[in-house]
Every structure is written in structure tokens, then in C-alpha cells.
Amino acid sequence: MREEPILRVIDVTKAFGGILALNRLSFHVAEGDILGIIGPNGSGKTTVVNCITGFIRMSSGRVIFRGKDISGKAPHKIADMGLARTFQIMRPYYSLPAYKNLVIPLFSPRAKRTGGWRGGGKLGDRDTVGIDILEEIGFERDSYVPYKLASTLPTGYQKRLELARCLALKPDMIICDEIFSGLSMSEIASMVPLIERLQMDGITLIMIEHRLRELFRVANRVMVLNFGEKIAEGSPDEVMANEKVKEAYFGSEEVEEVMNHA
Amino acid sequence: MNVEQRRKERLDRGIKVRSDTIYALMSVRELAYLTLPRFVLIAGMLVLPLAMPGMYWQRVVSIVCIYAILALSFDFLAHFVGLVSLGGAFFIGVGGYITALLNTNFGMSPLLSVPIAAVAGGLICTLLLLPCLPLRGVYFAIVTLMYPLAMARIIEALDILGGTDGIMGVGSFPNRWVEQYLVIAMVLVFLFGIRRLVNQDIGLVFRAVKDNDQAVKASGISITLYKAVAVFIASGIGCLSGACLVHIYMWSGISLFALDFSILPIAATVIGGSGTLVGPVLGCFILVPISELLRAFGTLRIVFYSLILVGFVVFRSEGIMVYGQRKYHQIERWVKV
């Protein structure tokens, strides 16, 4: 018997006025998977995330997370159930030092109930746990970086802080909205092992990306969106070979060539 | 002509106490650096009533303290939670009427009715403001401004709670020294209490709501709940000051809902420096006595008052305390370029 997928999206439609951002989109994510969602600009990738996590209300459709219907629930309730997300435009708490940024998720009802990241939220001092998480995610503990104001951190660290905020909640699933965008090649190179680590820790991931080369390295399944509709789904190789994808996403150019420029 | 090119350089003072850790205990000098400003403030506040020339100015000090408590609650809500509330007069009025009713109808002593008014008033204000909590920025400000205006009109139109005459014969505090030192103690307690609160974990959540409410939602925390808690704290403090005011005046009326109570705390915060907490207190200690001194000018009072405010906004928009803290913590010098 097949296992029930951790997340099931059924016929989700979102209309902004007359524009259909998502048109009866259905997909599912199995436990432990890394699903990549790609698509040209304006194809509805971020709208999917916002609909799933409750930040915008979908026009119709249902989202089932761990067997429970979460469509129409408030964002904090969905995060409380273990479905965390990062934001494409980073949203750190600018006036707080980086490690204090993590006190907020560690203070959440979920972290208090489950202990948060490795149980530290329940037992330990939240400041210390915050620095532990930051070290895990690539902030050097003994440097001054974790103590800097979040507003003064470079983009790479702010992206990591987004991920750290999710980890503090001890989530079952994380949706990363363009976590690689705006990073230099070397910054991405250091992020990829992190993502792989998350998968090993048993966290299911959805990754929305433009950086195909790195995405295809980590993702085991890829879904392609265009104009709010799913045009292809499968393993990275299958998707790359798909004629429809070449048409819609890459235009007339060769896939390999686009990937080299990405 | 030889024009010397210069620029101002700012250096942090080489004292480790500002790292807010164990270093504060390293030497007497550093200990003094840390504690002296606080000591001057506390001692100054405690000596103030004794230094006043007469009953009239002692009463002014009490009123200043009432405004200072209100300004503290405004600064907390505006700078640390991101809710700019113009409902100061509403808090004052609700707290004032509750304590007046308790005192005249049930004969409760002020020392009992004031705390009850603070908690009950805080609950009432929070419940009434609950529908406005999703609003942000100027919209929240406008809506909260309507509350005191509406309450005054409702009391007037329905002729309830004493109507336009108000509630007479409210008991006073046991004696004027109790009254004085009670309000002074409250200013100090709330000043240091709120500053401690905003650095606790729950205070960080409040500040996070101001910084980025979407990220707080994504962290699995209900922002409405924490906004409500913050409004309860702030309105409770506001109601407490209103209740004290009623027992000082021995009268409660619709002038408690006057806009002065909404506007002056903001002016004091602008002058004192927002987010410093001690700034708004200082601002009240400047603005309220000035307003008393200007009484001699009659109706021109408002003109001079406005000029002083404009002067502060134009020439020292950061506020006295922000300016003062910079001067205290940093050395400034001119260097040749």
C-alpha cells in the first residue's frame, strides 16, 4: 500500500480579479521528498506557496497536510502544525540581532510544545539555542556575525536566517521560496549541503527556484508551472527532456545552454 | 584663502559596561558610568516634591507624572509594538470613570479602587479595541482617536454616568504626600518595568510584531493575540494614570476624554526621543510645566506652545534623550580631512 503523502494540493485555484494566477492546480509531496517548483516569471510559483501557507486565501480548492484540511486556516495555525516557509524577499526582524531573531519562533506555541529545534526551546535559554541554530546553519559561533543587527547582515546570511527561523520551529516540512536567488555562486555552493542535511534529518522540502543547476542537484522531483497550470512533473531528467517544458520555459534555446547561464 | 576641511568623528567611549554583560562590575568608575544617570533620575524624582515652592507646583508635579505614565504607555505601544495609538484620552477616561463609580457607589478606598480600575479598564479597552487590531499605521491611529470622542458624546447624549456634570465627591488619597509619591513611584516602576519587559522574550515578540508581522505569523505565533496583550498592558497603565488623576481632582467628568490626553503624550515623545522610554517622561517634565508657565499669556499660550514644539521638531527631531545618549556614550571630535 502506498503511504499517504505529507502534503496534498487538490484543485487549487486563485484569481486576482480576472487573472487566474493558479488554475486547478493539483500535486502532492511524499514524506522525505524534495520537490522543486520551477516556471517562468509570473507563472504562479509564489502564489502556490502563499495559498498553501495561508498568507493569501485561495479562491477554491483544498490543501491537505498530514491528513488534515488546512485550506483557509490562519498562517500561524499552519506554521503551528509544522509547515514552515521562508520568504522570497527576506523578512528578518531588522532591529534585533541575528540570534535574537530566533527567540521569536522559539517562543511560539509549537516550539514550547515540541521543544523546538532539538528540544532546546523547552529546556534551555532561548538566546543560546538561537546561537546553536545559527551555528548549524553556517554562522560562525565565535565571530561577531550572530550578534550583528539583522539589518546589517549580507544577503547570504539573511537567507540563512530565513531558513534558521523555520528550523527553530522543528518543522515537518519547509517551503523555500527562492532561497538561492541573489546569492553568489560560492554562497549557493555552501547552501546546497545544508539543504541535503535537512533532507537527511527527515524534513520534507518544497523548493521554488530559478537556479536550475543547483535545484536539480538536490531535488528528486520537479514540477513545472506556466500560467498557473502544471505543464510537467517528474524527475529532473524527465522534465528537462519534456518538449512542452522546452517550449514554455526555455523558449527556443537549448536547455543545457540556459542551465549554464543560470 | 585657506579653507580647512574638517569632519566630525564619533568614537565610542572605551568603557565595557555598554556591552550589558558582567563587565559592569569591573571598576568603580565603570559602575558609576552605568548607574549615575539612573541614580540622578531616581533621586531627582524623589526630591522633586520637596523642592517645589508650594502646593500649586506640587500639584503640577503630580499632573506631570500622570502625563508621564500615559506617555510611557504610548511609547511602549508605538515604538515596541508598532501600534500608534491616539486613544490616550480613552484610557484615562475609562480608568477614571471606573474608579469614580467604585469610590462613590461602593465607598471603596482609592488604594483599592485604583488597581481595580487599572485591570478592569485595561480589559474593557482591550475588548473595545479588539476589532481595530488588524489595522496598521495611520489607520489604527485614526480609529483610536475616535474612541475618546465617541465616549464623550455618548455620555453627553445619553446623560449616563453623571452626564455633563460628571461624578462629584470622589474621595481623595489619604494625604497629599501619599498622592505625590504614589504617582512618582508609578512613573519609576513603569519606566524601568517596561524597559525590562521589552528585552524579555515576550518583549522581543512585541518588537518583532512591529518589525515584521508576516514573519511572526510564519513563526507560528498569532499576532492578534500578542497585539491584544500589548494593548492590555498599555491601556491598563493608561487607565491606572486616569484613575489616579480622578482621585487627585476628586471629580470625574467628560473632560477626561479631552484630546489633550491623546496629543500631549505624543508631543512629549517627539521632544524626548521615541523608543527611549525615559525620553517621553522627560518630555512631559518639559511640556507640562511650560504650559503652566505660559498661562500668563492667556490665549496666546497655544501659539508659544506650538512654536516650542515646532522648534524641537525642526532642530532636534531625534529627541533630547537620543541626542543625550549619543553625547554620553560617544566622544566627538573634529579631524582634518
Concatenated DSSP letters of A12-50? EEEEETTEEEEEEEEEEE-TT-EEEEE-STTSSHHHHHH
Cβ contacts of B208 within 8 Å, gap of 6 or more: A93, A96, A101, A104, B215, B216, B219
Q: What's residue B6's pLDDT?
A: 81
Q: Is the pLDDT assigned to residue B241 strictly greater than 70?
A: yes
A255 touches chain B (CB under 8 A): no
B219 touches chain A (CB under 8 A): yes
Average pLDDT over residues B158-179: 83
Which one of B214, B220, B222 has the shortest CB-CB distance to A169?
B220
Q: What's residue A1's pLDDT?
A: 42
A127-170 tens-digit pLDDT: 888 888 898 888 888 888 888 899 999 888 899 999 999 998 88
* Shortest Cα distance, chain B CAs vs residue A259, angstroms: 32
Q: What's residue A206's pLDDT?
A: 93
Q: Are B107 and B303 in contact (CB under 8 A)?
A: no
- CA dist., res. B12 & res. B329, Å (int): 6
For residue A93, give the 3-state DSSP assignment. coil
Q: What's residue B295's pLDDT?
A: 82
Q: What are phi and psi of B336, to 5 degrees?
A: -75, 140
A201 to A137, A154, A235: CA distances (angstroms): 13, 27, 22
Kindly list the structural domains of chain A, giving each domain's residue range(s) and its CATH number in brackets, ordered by start. 1-82+173-179+190-262 (3.40.50.300), 84-171 (3.40.50.300)
- CA dist., res. B328 & res. A209, Å (int): 49
Out of 3.90.1490, 3.40.30, 1.10.10, 1.10.3470, which CATH number does the structure's domain B6-336 have?
1.10.3470
**Closest chain B CA to residue A75:** B217
Please classify residue A48 by burial: count the beta carbons closer than 10 Å to its beta carbon, then call 0-12 exposed, 13-18 middle and 19+ buried.
buried
Q: Interface pTM (ipTM) of the complex?
A: 0.87
The cell numbers describing B107, all together, are 465607598
The cell numbers describing B159, all together, are 446623560
What length does chain A have? Answer: 262
Q: Mean pLDDT check: name the lowest of A113-117, A174-178, B70-74, B124-128.
A: A113-117
Q: Is the pLDDT assigned to residue B110 strictly greater than 80?
A: yes
Q: What's residue B71's pLDDT?
A: 95
Contact B208 A85 (CB under 8 A): no
Distance of CA B6 to the CA centre of its chain: 40
Q: Are B170 and B100 in contact (CB under 8 A)?
A: yes
Buried/exposed code over B186-209 (b: 16+ C-beta within 10 A; e: otherwise): bbbebbebbbebbeeeebbbbbbb
B282-316 tens-digit pLDDT: 999 998 888 888 888 877 877 888 888 888 888 88
Contact A84 B218 (CB under 8 A): yes
Structure confidence at residue A20 as a pLDDT band (50, 70, 90): confident
Contact B220 A105 (CB under 8 A): yes
Q: Is the pLDDT assigned to residue B335 strictly greater than 60?
A: yes
Q: Which residues of B touch A55 (CB under 8 A)?
A: 214, 217
What ranges make up the beta strands (E) of chain B?
6-12, 330-336
Nearest CA to A93 out of B159, B223, B1 is that of B223
Q: What's residue A231's pLDDT?
A: 87
In chain B, where the domains are located? 6-336
Average pLDDT over residues B169-183: 86
Q: Measured in Å, how far apart are chain B's first and last C-alpha atoms?
A: 17
A170 touches chain B (CB under 8 A): no
Q: Which residues of A touch B223 (CB under 8 A)?
A: 76
Contact A79 B204 (CB under 8 A): no
